[in-house]
């Protein structure tokens, strides 16, 4: 958990297109660290590498299939990649998993 928090904080301050080293250290310690894969996806997406981001979000979902935020992030990436049907399925899954989260409903309505 601490690694995820440090990685997230480090990523928010990072203005380059390269992920902070702590993200990769997280994966070196625990290759199945879903949060690190998701964070790398966010950095990739923010840097315009949307295919890479989608691949990272899919990896995150391999390890935490019931994480609504990861489904939502993948939906965003797929929508950017002009794959709206796949994005819509991700948004629907996010709503099913976390129905109280308004962002998921908003993305689903706008898809």
8 Å CB contact between 64 and 33: no
Sketch out the chain's domains with CATH numbers: 2-110 (1.25.40.10)
- How far is CA 95 from each of CA 88, 92, 107, 109, rounded to the nearest angstrom? 11, 5, 9, 11
Please name which of 25, 23, 28, 27 lies closest in space to residue 40, comparing C-alpha atoms.
23
pLDDT tens digits, 52-86: 999 999 999 999 999 999 999 999 999 999 999 99
Residue with tokens 């894969």: 37
- The whole-number pLDDT of residue 25 equals 82
pTM of the model: 0.81
pLDDT band at 22 (very low <50, low <70, confident <90, very high): confident
- The whole-number pLDDT of residue 7 equals 47
């Amino acid at each position: 958990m601490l690694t995820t928090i440090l990685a997230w904080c480090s990523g928010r301050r990072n203005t380059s297109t390269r992920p902070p080293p702590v993200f990769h250290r997280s994966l070196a310690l625990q290759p199945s660290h879903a949060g690190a894969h998701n964070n790398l996806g966010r950095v990739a997406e923010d840097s315009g590498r949307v295919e890479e981001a989608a691949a990272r979000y899919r990896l995150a979902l391999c390890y935490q299939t019931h994480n609504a935020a990861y489904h939502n992030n993948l939906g965003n990436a797929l929508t950017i990649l002009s794959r709206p049907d796949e994005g819509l399925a991700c948004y629907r899954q996010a709503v099913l998993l976390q129905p109280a989260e308004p962002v998921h409903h908003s993305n689903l309505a706008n898809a």
